[in-house]
């Protein structure tokens, strides 16, 4: 199999997408040359430099850490085209104009490396037509590579072959995008707007159509089409505001222009109010007003009839709210169809028309139903794609209902459902053997590319029938908190600890389970992996802490914390290597579990932090202790109190302000993980890699370090230096008196207690100090109030 090595990449066009794609390449450690037009005056790379500056400010952050920016070189087409010779991948992301793209292709062609892959990020132009703009020799290495905004966070990349694209090149590119950039790749056919935008924009049109038909307000529709039906919080109209109403109108116009024969063509039309808003310059978020607008402190919504704004409410009817609580989709859809409530009718109508459209278009736009469903999950943030929803709701019933509505003239198009959808005996399009391909009338199995072997529990569509982790492997031990299991087919010698609690919070049963699992592993396994699906762990089980606290038995609290510390120390000093596989939130006690592992395998999207200050506590599962150890190690061999303090200072601020990393790279920067840890861009590969790492460590003769001794600490001189910062923050009104107290407790723990700076201590000493500080804080009413508030509201209390 051909392997793609991207030593350097070029991105042509430093617009919103180009710059962010460059950023994500840089995140992945690929040096990038980012091109745009030469500026007419001043710095000739001015356009690109401005875009690079913009990357630092954009939210959510396109860069996984700000220092990644240094791997992006600014360039312009007038001066720097020879730099293309070094680039193994060239991604074109300029404006959607065939003539401009062709001009650019002609310009770059002489400078391309003879092996470079050239790809266009076009969101809808014909790839086969674009290929004509390139020399014949380049065409086998040319394809579409369609990222979604924001490219770091949206999982989908559609790759689109032209008639001349070399199959092995596409496989190599798919492999690279999947593993190196962490993307979910689907192969789209070369039709306008490809797959996700074709279905997704149609879905928006259907929602707009039925909003008017049922006379619903935009706020109500957003309440109906958001998380309640498994779609993003911004639902439909707020998404339109975020995307930009002008952009949306442009996309709709493109559909109208490029799809004249689409049976739904009459609906490819922006509603009048959209044009009116655009004319007024109300383009959505970028102009601080569109369909929604913030007036004073109120969020207001457009009333299309009057053209005025009114306060946004968006209440679901009681009937629909009850129906949407039903988890069984068959029951839910039956109820929606049966109800007279316009909100229910609306919901059925938007699902019906998207099902109808997807069924008719499947054979034209995608190889199979799985690709289409994943496109909607990964490109539009839907919890489920249309086909899997349909299947889960009962294929035949829904198909009949759609057919009946078409016949009754209720559907948006009179085009009949394709015969395969109405086949007798059809129960769906997804099955263990594969997903239905309308164009081939066959079931397409999952890709056989070796890269997917790295995903032991890949994301599945409903109906695929794959085993969940909980149903897999051999269980060696379990209690209420933890399951220790193995995957004998992968490596029978590596145990997997999976936490079972909600959000993987760490309570007494998890602590007990981890210690038992470690003991079990020491007795008969080669290594351990801590893995479960995201999040890694949201921290200690606060309810349990509050319960113990309520008894007033603080000796018991002390024992609880000591047990927690014993668990993290068991992880650290296990006789077999423990590898923590972190993804999503790894907060508080979860962060401490990961910090104590022999090694960490982190998904890029790892959000780690010691956030105990938010509930008036400090890390006491060894978190402060680990940072005291790190500081001592970094300061060695001249570990004066001064030197140690220099390394404590940033950590202290992170703990005091409950800072959470926004990526694995930041987690390393903050010291929650190490530079030697492994970062994976595709979270689905975590378990595979963690098992391999545990195996490699075991085979290399792993033994834990001896328990740390002779640790120089910053002591009371260090505490004073940190306290100086706190005085200024408190008396400057930035923190409360109680924040001061909590932060000072962290300072005491990080500096090894109120002892002489430079004193040598051991781990037991440091653990005792942080435990004492923790218990002392817990006795305060302010901390107890913070915990209660967090449990009641899920939000931190500032007191």
Partner 1 sequence: MSKQIQDAYIVAATRTPVAKRNGLFKHVRPDDLLAHAIRSVVAQVPAVDPARIGDVIVGCAIPEAEQGMNIARIGVLLAGLPNTVPGYTINRFCSSGLQAVADAAAQISLGLADVMIAAGTESMSVMPQIMGDKVMPNPAIFSDENLGIAYGMGLTAEEVASRWQISRDAQDAFALVSHQKACAAIAAGHFNAETSPYAVCDRLPDLASGQIRERRRVVENDEGARPDISLEKLAKLRPVFRARGSVTAGNASQMSDGAAAVMLVSEKMLREHNLTPLARFAGYAVGGVAPEIMGIGPVAAIPRVLQQTGIRQDDLDWIELNEAFAAQALAVTRDLGLNPDRINPLGGAIALGHPLGATGAIRTATLVHGLQRTGGRYGMVSMCIGTGMGAAGIFERV
Which residues, numbered 756-785, are part of the site for partner 1 (CB under 8 A)? 757
Q: What is the three-class DSSP state of 11?
A: strand
CB 224 within 8 A of CB 316: yes
Neighbours of 785 (CB within 10 A): 15
Stretch in the footprint of partner 1 (CB under 8 A) among 26-34, 693-701, 725-733, 779-787: 725-733
Task: Give 645 or 766: the residue with its C-beta nearer to partner 1.
Answer: 645
Burial of 347: CB neighbours in 10 Å, binned 0-12, 13-18, 19+:
buried
Q: Does 716 bind partner 1 (CB under 8 A)?
A: yes
Residues 238 and 382: their CA atoms lie apart, in Å, by: 15
Residues 85 and 57: their CA atoms lie apart, in Å, by: 31
Nearest-approach distance from CB 7 to partner 1, in angstroms: 18
Stretch in the footprint of partner 1 (CB under 8 A) among 85-93, 299-307, 392-400, 718-726: 718-726
Q: Does 648 bind partner 1 (CB under 8 A)?
A: no
Task: Give 507 or 641: the residue with its C-beta nearer to partner 1.
Answer: 641
Residues 628-647 as x/- pattern, contact with partner 1 by CB under 8 A: -------------xx--xx-
Q: Does 656 bind partner 1 (CB under 8 A)?
A: no
Q: How far is CA 159 from the centre of its chain?
A: 21
595: CB partners within 8 A, 6+ apart: 568, 622, 623, 626, 672, 673
Residue from the set 719, 745, 775, 777 that interacts with partner 1 by CB under 8 A: 719
Task: Give 257 or 731: the residue with its C-beta nearer to partner 1.
Answer: 731
CB 260 within 8 A of CB 273: no
Report the DSSP beta bridge partners of residue 159.
Answer: 145, 187
Residues 103-142 as x/- pattern, contact with partner 1 by CB under 8 A: ----------------------------------------
Stretch in the footprint of partner 1 (CB under 8 A) among 158-166, 213-221, 386-394, 711-719: 711-719
Residue located via tokens 């998404």: 239
Q: What is the three-class DSSP state of 312?
A: coil
Q: Does 80 bind partner 1 (CB under 8 A)?
A: no
Which residues, numbered 496-515, are part of the site for partner 1 (CB under 8 A)? none
Stretch in the footprint of partner 1 (CB under 8 A) among 132-140, 294-302, 595-603, 730-738: 730-738
Residues 412 and 142: their CA atoms lie apart, in Å, by: 37
Residue from the set 257, 442, 522, 734 that interacts with partner 1 by CB under 8 A: 734
Residue from the set 260, 296, 425, 733 that interacts with partner 1 by CB under 8 A: 733
**Quick one: which of 307, 339, 304, 305 has its CA closest to 324?**
339
Nearest-approach distance from CB 778 to partner 1, in angstroms: 24
Residue located via tokens 């140690």: 644
**791's tokens:** 């449990």
- Under DSSP, the state recorded for 394 is T
Task: Give 632 or 721: the residue with its C-beta nearer to partner 1.
Answer: 721
State the angle between helix axes of 554-572 and 542-550 in degrees (0 to 180), rounded to the nearest 10: 150
Q: Does 732 bind partner 1 (CB under 8 A)?
A: yes
Q: Does 723 bind partner 1 (CB under 8 A)?
A: yes
Nearest-approach distance from CB 237 to partner 1, in angstroms: 34
Nearest-approach distance from CB 716 to partner 1, in angstroms: 5
Nearest-approach distance from CB 735 to partner 1, in angstroms: 9
Task: Give 379 or 757: the residue with its C-beta nearer to partner 1.
Answer: 757
Q: End-to-end CA distance of the chain, in Å?
A: 61
Task: Give 76 or 384: the residue with its C-beta nearer to partner 1.
Answer: 76
Residues 691 and 580: their CA atoms lie apart, in Å, by: 10
Neighbours of 287 (CB within 10 A): 17
**Quick one: which of 327, 332, 427, 444 has its CA closest to 387?**
427
**353's tokens:** 């028309």
Q: Is residue 221 within a helix (H) or strand (E), and if so which, with residue range?
A: helix 218-224
Task: Give 234 or 642: the residue with its C-beta nearer to partner 1.
Answer: 642
Q: Is residue 159 within a helix (H) or strand (E), and if so which, with residue range?
A: strand 156-161
Stretch in the footprint of partner 1 (CB under 8 A) among 305-313, 663-671, 693-701, 731-739: 731-739
Q: Does 83 bind partner 1 (CB under 8 A)?
A: no
Nearest-approach distance from CB 719 to partner 1, in angstroms: 7
Q: Does 721 bind partner 1 (CB under 8 A)?
A: yes
CA distances (Å), origin 543, targets 337, 540, 546: 42, 9, 5
Task: Give 324 or 644: the residue with its C-beta nearer to partner 1.
Answer: 644
Residues 140 and 135: their CA atoms lie apart, in Å, by: 10
Task: Give 613 or 719: the residue with its C-beta nearer to partner 1.
Answer: 719
- Under DSSP, the state recorded for 680 is E
Residues 663 and 607: their CA atoms lie apart, in Å, by: 6
Which phi and psi angles does 540 have, rounded to 5°?
-65, 155
Nearest-approach distance from CB 726 to partner 1, in angstroms: 9
Residue from the set 69, 534, 717, 776 that interacts with partner 1 by CB under 8 A: 717
Q: Does 727 bind partner 1 (CB under 8 A)?
A: yes
Which residues, numbered 369-428, are part of the site for partner 1 (CB under 8 A)? none
Q: Does 70 bind partner 1 (CB under 8 A)?
A: no
The conformational region for residue 733 under phi > 0 = left, psi -120 to 50 = alpha, else beta, is: left
Nearest-approach distance from CB 236 to partner 1, in angstroms: 37
Task: Give 284 or 641: the residue with its C-beta nearer to partner 1.
Answer: 641
Kindly report the length of the chain. 799
Residues 775 and 763: their CA atoms lie apart, in Å, by: 18
Report the DSSP beta bridge partners of residue 10.
Answer: 33, 90
Stretch in the footprint of partner 1 (CB under 8 A) among 145-153, 161-169, 279-287, 717-725: 717-725
Stretch in the footprint of partner 1 (CB under 8 A) among 88-96, 293-301, 392-400, 727-735: 727-735
Residue located via tokens 């990222």: 147
CA 770-771-775 angle, to 5 degrees, is: 120
Residues 549 and 543: their CA atoms lie apart, in Å, by: 10
Stretch in the footprint of partner 1 (CB under 8 A) among 161-169, 171-179, 663-671, 712-720: 712-720
Nearest-approach distance from CB 628 to partner 1, in angstroms: 17
- Under DSSP, the state recorded for 539 is -
Q: Does 724 bind partner 1 (CB under 8 A)?
A: yes
Residue located via tokens 């000591």: 562
Stretch in the footprint of partner 1 (CB under 8 A) among 140-148, 313-321, 618-626, 732-740: 732-740
Residues 407 and 350: their CA atoms lie apart, in Å, by: 17
Task: Give 590 or 718: the residue with its C-beta nearer to partner 1.
Answer: 718
Nearest-approach distance from CB 766 to partner 1, in angstroms: 20
Task: Give 503 or 717: the residue with its C-beta nearer to partner 1.
Answer: 717
Stretch in the footprint of partner 1 (CB under 8 A) among 183-191, 413-421, 456-464, 723-731: 723-731
Nearest-approach distance from CB 168 to partner 1, in angstroms: 37
Q: Which stretches of the chain bind partner 1, using CB under 8 A? A: 641-642, 645-646, 716-721, 723-724, 727-728, 731-734, 754, 757
């Amino acid at each position: 199999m051909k392997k793609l090595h991207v030593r350097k990449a070029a991105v042509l066009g430093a617009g919103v997408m180009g710059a962010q794609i460059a950023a994500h390449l840089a995140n992945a450690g690929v040096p990038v040359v980012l091109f745009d037009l030469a500026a007419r005056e001043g710095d000739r790379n001015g356009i690109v430099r401005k875009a690079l500056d913009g990357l630092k400010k954009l939210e959510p952050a396109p860069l996984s850490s700000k220092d990644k920016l240094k791997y992006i070189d600014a360039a312009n087409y007038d001066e720097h085209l020879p730099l293309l010779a070094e680039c193994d991948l060239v991604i074109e992301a300029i404006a959607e104009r065939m003539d401009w793209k062709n001009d650019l292709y002609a310009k770059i062609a002489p400078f391309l490396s003879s092996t470079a892959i050239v790809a266009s990020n076009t969101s809808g132009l014909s790839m086969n037509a674009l290929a004509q703009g390139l020399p014949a020799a380049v065409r086998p290495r040319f394809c579409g590579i369609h990222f979604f905004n924001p490219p770091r966070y949206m999982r989908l990349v559609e790759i689109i072959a032209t008639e001349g694209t070399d199959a092995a090149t596409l496989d190599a590119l798919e492999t690279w995008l999947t593993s190196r950039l962490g993307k979910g790749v689907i192969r789209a056919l070369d039709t306008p707007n490809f797959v996700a935008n074709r279905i997704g924009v149609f879905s928006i049109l259907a929602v707009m159509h039925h909003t008017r038909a049922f006379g619903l307000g935009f706020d109500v529709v957003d309440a109906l089409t958001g998380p309640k039906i498994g779609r993003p919080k911004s639902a439909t109209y707020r998404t339109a505001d975020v995307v930009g109403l002008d952009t949306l109108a442009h996309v709709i116009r493109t559909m109208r222009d490029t799809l004249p024969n689409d049976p739904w063509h009459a609906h490819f039309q922006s509603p009048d109010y959209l044009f009116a808003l655009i004319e007024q310059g109300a383009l959505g978020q970028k102009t601080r007003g569109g369909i929604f607008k913030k007036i004073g402190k109120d969020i207001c919504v457009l009333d299309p009839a009057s053209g005025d704004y009114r306060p946004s409410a968006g209440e679901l009817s009681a009937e629909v709210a009850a129906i949407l609580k039903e988890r069984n989709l068959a029951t839910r859809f039956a109820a929606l169809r049966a109800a007279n409530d316009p909100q229910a009718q609306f919901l059925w109508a938007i699902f019906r028309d998207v099902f109808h459209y997807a069924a008719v278009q499947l054979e034209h736009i995608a190889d199979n139903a799985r690709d289409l469903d994943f496109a909607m999950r990964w490109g539009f943030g839907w919890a489920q794609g249309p086909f899997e929803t349909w299947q889960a709701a009962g294929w035949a019933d829904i198909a009949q209902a759609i057919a009946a509505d078409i016949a009754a003239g209720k559907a948006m198009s009179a085009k009949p459902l394709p015969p395969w959808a109405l086949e007798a005996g059809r129960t769906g399009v997804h099955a263990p053997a594969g997903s239905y391909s309308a164009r081939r009338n066959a079931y397409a199995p999952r890709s056989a590319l070796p890269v997917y072997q790295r995903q032991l529990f890949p994301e599945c569509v409903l109906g695929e029938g794959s085993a969940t982790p909980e149903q897999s492997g051999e269980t060696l031990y379990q209690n209420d908190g933890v399951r220790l299991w193995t995957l004998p087919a992968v490596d029978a010698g590596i145990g997997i600890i999976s936490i079972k609690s909600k959000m993987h919070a760490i309570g007494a049963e998890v602590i007990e389970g981890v210690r038992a699992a470690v003991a079990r592993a020491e007795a008969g396994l080669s290594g351990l992996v801590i893995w479960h699906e995201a999040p890694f762990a949201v921290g200690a089980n606060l309810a349990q802490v509050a319960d113990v606290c309520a008894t007033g038995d603080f000796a018991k609290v002390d024992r609880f914390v000591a047990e927690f510390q014993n668990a993290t120390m068991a992880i650290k000093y296990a006789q077999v290597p423990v590898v923590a596989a972190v993804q999503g939130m790894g907060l508080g006690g979860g962060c401490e579990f990961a910090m104590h592992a022999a090694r960490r395998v982190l998904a890029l999207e790892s959000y780690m932090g010691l956030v105990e200050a938010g509930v008036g506590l400090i890390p006491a599962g060894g978190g402060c202790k680990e940072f005291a150890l790190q500081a001592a190690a970094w300061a060695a061999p001249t570990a004066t109190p001064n030197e140690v303090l220099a390394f404590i200072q940033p950590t202290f601020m992170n703990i005091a302000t409950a800072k959470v990393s926004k990526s694995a790279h930041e987690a390393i920067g903050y010291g929650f993980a190490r530079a030697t840890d492994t970062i994976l861009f595709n979270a689905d590969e975590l378990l595979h890699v963690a098992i391999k790492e545990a195996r490699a460590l075991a085979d290399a003769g792993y033994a834990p370090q001896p328990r740390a001794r002779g640790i120089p600490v910053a002591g009371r001189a260090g505490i004073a230096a940190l306290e100086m910062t706190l005085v200024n923050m408190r008396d400057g009104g930035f923190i409360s008196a109680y924040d001061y107290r909590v932060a000072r407790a962290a300072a005491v723990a990080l500096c090894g207690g109120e002892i002489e700076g430079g004193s040598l201590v051991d781990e037991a000493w440091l653990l005792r100090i942080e435990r004492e500080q923790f218990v002392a804080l817990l006795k305060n009413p302010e901390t107890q109030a913070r915990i209660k508030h967090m449990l009641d509201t899920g939000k931190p209390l500032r007191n």
